Amino acid sequence: MTKVLRAAAIGVVVVSLAAQLTAPAVAAPTKLKWSECPPDAGAPRGTYCATLKVPLDYAKPNGRQITLMVSAVGSLSAKHYMLVNPGGPGASGIGVEHQVSGGLPEKVNDQYAVFSFDPRGVGKSTPVDCGDFSKLVKHPALPYKPSNAKQEQQRIQQAKQVAEQCGRKAKDLLPYITTDNTARDMDRIRIALGRDKIDYLGYSYGTKLGATYATMFPQHTGRMILNSVVDPLVSTYRSGYEQDTALQARVQALFAWIAARDKTYHLGKAAKTVQAAWEKLRSDVAKKPAGGRAGISEVDDLLAGSLYTDDQWSDVADAIVQYRHGDPSALLSVTDQLALQAVDPAMLAYNCTDPGWPRSWSTWHWETSIADHRAPYIAWLNTWYSAPCAFWPVGPVQQTKIGSSKVPPILLIQPRYDGPTPLIGARRMHAVLPGSRLLVENGGNHASYLGRPNPCIDTKATQYWLTGQLPADGNCPASV
Residue 240 CA to its chain's centroid (Å)? 13
pLDDT value for 140? 92
Question: Which residues in the chain show pLDDT less than 70?
Answer: 1-30, 339-342
pLDDT value for 447? 96
Contact by Cβ (8 Å): 93, 86: yes
For 285, phi and psi rounded to 5 degrees?
Answer: -75, -20
pLDDT value for 335? 80
Contact by Cβ (8 Å): 9, 204: no
Helix, strand, coil distribution of the chain in percent, nearest 5: 45, 15, 40
Q: What is the CA radius of gyration of the chain?
A: 22
Contact by Cβ (8 Å): 168, 206: no
Q: 138-172 in b/e burial notation, b at 16+ Cβ within 10 A?
A: ebbbbbbbbeeeeebeebbebbeebbebbbeebee
Residue 476 CA to its chain's centroid (Å)? 23
pLDDT value for 143? 96
The whole-model pTM stands at: 0.94
Contact by Cβ (8 Å): 140, 359: no
pLDDT value for 6? 37
Residue 82, SS3 per DSSP: strand
Residue 264 CA to its chain's centroid (Å)? 32
**CA atoms of 196 and 201, how far apart (whole Å):** 17
Q: Checking phi first, is residue 94 left (phi over 0); if not, alpha (psi -120 to 50) or beta? A: beta
**CA atoms of 176 and 173, how far apart (whole Å):** 6
**CA atoms of 456 and 476, how far apart (whole Å):** 6
Provide the β-strand partners of residue 48: 36, 72
- What average pLDDT does the structure give for the chain? 92
pLDDT value for 137? 81
**CA atoms of 114 and 129, how far apart (whole Å):** 29
**CA atoms of 74 and 183, how far apart (whole Å):** 23
Helices H / strands E in the chain, number of each: 16, 10
pLDDT value for 17? 36
pLDDT value for 7? 34
